[in-house]
Each structure stands twice: as structure tokens, then as C-alpha cells.
Amino acid sequence: MSARTSTAGRCVLCAIVVWMAALCCAPPAQAGAIASCRAPFGFGGAEVNLVVLPYYQEGPSPVDLNGTGTQIALLLKLETLFRATAFDRWGIILMTGTKRECDPDLIARRMMASEIRPGGRLILLWGKLYQQDDDIYVQSYVRFFRRPAPNESAPPVQLLMEVGGKPFSGDVSSQDLVFPPELLTRPELAAIQNNFAKSAFFYQQPNLDAARRPIPLDQFRKCMQCQDPLAFTVEARQGDWIRVKQIDGPEEYLLAHLEEGLSLNRRLPEVTFVQGLLGYLRYQTVSPQRPAAAMKLAEDALMRYASREEAAREPETKAVALQLAGILDSAEDRDPSGKFDTAFQLAPYSSDARNLAVIVELNRTFHSPESKLRPREIVDDFVAAVALDPENPLVLANLQSFYELIASPGVQGKIDPQFTLKPEEIESRLTQIKAIRKKMTAQSNPGTN
Amino acid sequence: MSVKPTSDQILSFFDERGADLKAFYMVAAGAQAFADHQWNPAVHFLCKGASFLKGKAGREDLLGYANELASSAAQELRKTNDVSVSLMSADQVKNYCKFATTR
């Protein structure tokens, strides 16, 4: 290699490093990447990173389903890119590698340790393909996380509200979600293959006849260049295409949304759920000026998922969709109580689902001029939530807040006399709850006393 | 269950398509936690299993078993001071899962 080409090479390398650093630390509003599971990558400055992992074959099948799994993962990533353009400050990464390298627990640990900035959120989407009798099924899983900010000891709760000056808080019933398995017919499997054959390229123009170069998925799968992800900014959406740009490269196009033969959204309703979740995690903590249109879009996506017939087959995931939509409602001062009630009916064994339903109803009753609080019923509701998970610290804290609320002189006019509690009962219960909480804190932090 | 079930009885718990597997796993996890004197997870898993079994024809035995075992676990919990279950009345403890999962 001559000195001249070596210098030129170093310059290109420097430019790549500077550009990658810029993408990582102060990412543009929307960015995408392809990376190896051996070297997990996230956009450090993004509010939310979504990682799509390959779908692997589970169990025996006369046909190799792993190829289809890779194709589904790329199509899901592209469809998600397409749907996410209404939101900002996200990164969507397709990771590839062997099943062991792409283990979701391992990727989550590595991402949270080094790739997600404090306060940042991570969504993992992965799945499996399996054969039952003659039929092929696909099933997806989603897990989401928030890395605590430097001043937080743990991720904050999903919903925090003040009622009569007392704090009440709740979390959604699960952050680890399973979606119903979906049958893939032979024509649908063929459609996946056809759509992948069209989508696995960077096109020079937004049409299928334009010059194109392949997305180097195999390179990342085999880890030939696994240290450097292929990252690009998402510039705009144009029909079914999205315009992207890599460092020093021309603008190119990805075919992101394909309906021919198989609509991913129609076959895999989790596509809509993930769109809503991405919007929820992006905007849930934004204040005071929230982008109402983007939040409404996220809420609509979650509600569209919940209204799908297939969603009923995994009630806990449907419950979470309703809870997330309800929290977005609360942020926009809309009454979300119906959503939380339905979520509890779907997951009646969930302490968190019951807790959320109770605090939202309490808030609504308290602020409604014509309604009165029924302390006995509300206490029973909180105690039932405790019974479902005796170590749930949020429910006990809420119960304490509730007793303190109804002991306040200013609240007496809001209480239905038929359901009132005697002051000495309130006092004794408060003493009891404080002792329980103190004991629980001591047990969870044995070294602090 | 007073006697060890036969393998046919165990198999009869399973729906043809395995639709009740979740419930069986929950009850089994709850029963194991009970045997290990892990009362908190025991009530949690048993009530979750019970809520999956509620209203299912042919599952009344298992539902009754889960409910009874959850109430027994709650009684055990109440023997200790300063635990959440001490906030419940005797009646609520007796019908533990029904109270916890019905609104």
C-alpha cells in the first residue's frame, strides 16, 4: 500500500469514527443500524432504542425455518422503521448472529450495561418459528426496560399521581410480553420470501427497477465486520419507501412497507403494539410540552392492538396495551379508568393491574364534584392487590397514602358516610402499615440497619 | 389431593391442545413454593393458577385445591408479625384467592 493510499485510508477511517461517534452520542432524530449480536450496538443519545433479533427455529421441522426467521426479522425492522417516522429521537437496530449470540437475556444485559444511556429506554423484539403437525407458526416476544438516570436508584414507576396532596403510583402488570402464535400458510411463507427478496437492498431510487446493492446481512451474521455496525440516518418517508443516508454515501432508499401477499401487520398484530410502545416510551416522560399528535398516534396503535381478535389469546399482553394507552390518556387529561378496569379483568391475578385500576378510579372519584369516596371499598381493593403479591411495595405505599388522605380534615366532605372508617381504626392501620413497610425495607436492604 | 394421582389422572388434567398448561404450571409452582414454606410466592402462583381455572368445566377439583392451599399459605403468613397478610380479615384469608381476584 502506498503512503498516499494509506493516508487516504486513515482519513476515511477517521471520518467514519467521527461520524459513528456523532451518531452514537448526539444522534439525529431517527436512525437505523444493522449490527452483530457479538457486538451489540445502541444509539447512545436516543431516547428509545429498539432491537430486533432474528426469529429462530424451535423444535424439529423437515424444512429449515431459520432462514425464514432472518427474513421476518428484517421485514419487521423495516416495517417498524416505516411506522416510527411519526416519532423522533429513536434508533432501530437489527442484530444478527447465532442463536446463542443473540440470546435476548444476554443482549439485554450487554445493551443496558453499555449501549443505553442513563434514563434511556430499550425495547427488545424477538421470536421463534416452529412446526406443529403440518403447520408453521411464528410467535413474538417483547421486553422493555428503562435504565435509571444518575439520580435514580431504580427505574421510575410508570404512573405517578397526586390525589389530595398524597402520592399514588403504579406500574403496568408486565414488561415481559408474549404474543399469540400465528399460523403462517404456505402462500404466506412464500410471500415472506418474495418480500425479503425485494427488501434486502439499498435502492438508488424509490422504485424496484432502480440500481441497488444488497444489505450486507450475511456479513453481520457471520461477523466478518462485527465491530462496526452499519448505521444510517432516516431522512424521510416516501410512499412505501424510506430515504436513508450513510456516512459520505448518497441518499438511498429502503422498501419498508410491503402489503403484497402478506401484510405483516395483518398477520402479526405485534407490529402495531411495538409502534405504540415505541411512542409510549418516547413521550411518556416528556413534559410540559407534549407532542399531542404523536402521543395520540401511539395510543391509537396500542388500542388497535387491543381491539384485535388475536390479542384476546394473550390477555396479559392485551392488558398491558390497555394500561399503556391509559397512561397516555392520563398524561393528556383524558379519563382512562375504563381501560384500567378492563386490564384488571383480563389479568385478575396481577397485583399491579389491580393497583393501577384502584388508583386511577380513586383519582377520578376524588376530582369529580358529584362523587364521594367509599373508604371501606377502596381499602379492600388495595388489600386485595396486596394479597396477590404480598411483597408489592407500591400497593402498600398507596394504602398508606390512602389512609393519610382520608385522615385529612379537608377531605371529610368527600367521604360517603356509609363507607367511612373510624379515626382510631385509621390510626391503628397506619401504624401497622408503617411497621410492615419498615420490615420489608429492612429485609430488602439487610446491610442498612 | 389426598392420594398420589395416577399418570392417567395427571394426563386427564391436560386439554387436548394444552390450553390449560399455564394454569397447571402456576398451581404446580405454587404447591412447590408451599412445600418450601415460601408463603408469598405460594399465594401469588396459586391465585394466578386459580384465576386461570375459574369457570372451566372439569377443573373444579384443581381449582378447589389451589384455593385451599392459598388460604393455608395465608394462614401461615399471618403467624408472623408485620406482614401484608395481617391487613386481611379472617374471612378474607379464608376465601383468599376469591377475595384477591374479584372486583
Query: Which residue does chain A place closest to B22, by CA atoms?
Result: A314
Q: Which residue, chain included where needed, has cell 381455572?
A: B53
The amino acid at residue A382 is: F
Q: What pLDDT sits at residue A217?
A: 87
Q: Kindly tell me if the per-residue pLDDT of A436 is higher than 50.
A: yes
Query: What number of C-beta contacts closer than 8 Å exist between A and B?
Result: 75
CB contact under 8 A, A388 and B82: no
* Residue A288: cis peptide before it, omega within 30 degrees of 0: yes
- Dist CA A237 CA A233 (whole Å): 12
Distance from CA of B57 to the nearest CA of A (A): 19
Q: Kindly tell me if the per-residue pLDDT of A9 is higher than 70.
A: no
Q: Kindly tell me if the per-residue pLDDT of A12 is higher than 80.
A: no
* C-alpha angle A62-A311-A132 in degrees, rounded to nearest 5: 15
Confidence of residue A14 (pLDDT cuts 50, 70, 90): very low
CB contact under 8 A, A438 and B99: no
Confidence of residue A288 (pLDDT cuts 50, 70, 90): low
Across A384-403, average pLDDT: 96
A238-284: pLDDT as tens digits:
999 999 999 888 999 999 998 776 778 788 999 999 999 999 999 98
CB contact under 8 A, A388 and B100: yes
Contact call for residues A250 and A204 (beta carbons, < 8 A)? yes
Distance from CA of B87 to the nearest CA of A (A): 7
45-74 of B, contacting A, C-beta below 8 A: 47-48, 50-52, 74
Confidence of residue B40 (pLDDT cuts 50, 70, 90): very high
Q: To the nearest whole percent, how much of chain A has pLDDT over 90?
A: 76
A354-365: pLDDT as tens digits:
999 999 999 999
For residue A295, the tally of other CB atoms under 10 A from its CB is 21
Q: What pLDDT sits at residue B18?
A: 59
Q: What pLDDT sits at residue A173?
A: 96
The answer to ipTM > 0.90 is no
A122-142: pLDDT as tens digits:
999 999 999 988 889 999 999
Residues of A in contact with B81 (CB under 8 A): 435
Query: Any bridge partners for residue A145, and if so which?
Result: A122
Cα end-to-end span (Å), chain A = 67
Q: What is the 3-state secondary structure (H, E, C) of chain B?
A: CCCCCCHHHHHHCCCCCCCCHHHHHHHHHHHHHHHCCCHHHHHHHHHHHHHHHCCCCCCHHHHHHHHHHHHHHHHHHHCCCCCHHHHCCHHHHHCHHHHHHCC
A39-88: pLDDT as tens digits:
999 998 899 999 999 999 999 888 889 999 999 999 999 999 999 999 99
Q: Kindly tell me if the per-residue pLDDT of A221 is higher than 90.
A: no
| Residues with Cβ within 8 Å of residue A368, at least 6 apart in sequence | none
In terms of pLDDT, which residue wins out, A329 or A261? A329
Mean pLDDT score of chain B, rounded to an integer?
87
CB contact under 8 A, A383 and B101: no
pTM of structure? 0.89
Q: What pLDDT sits at residue A13?
A: 45
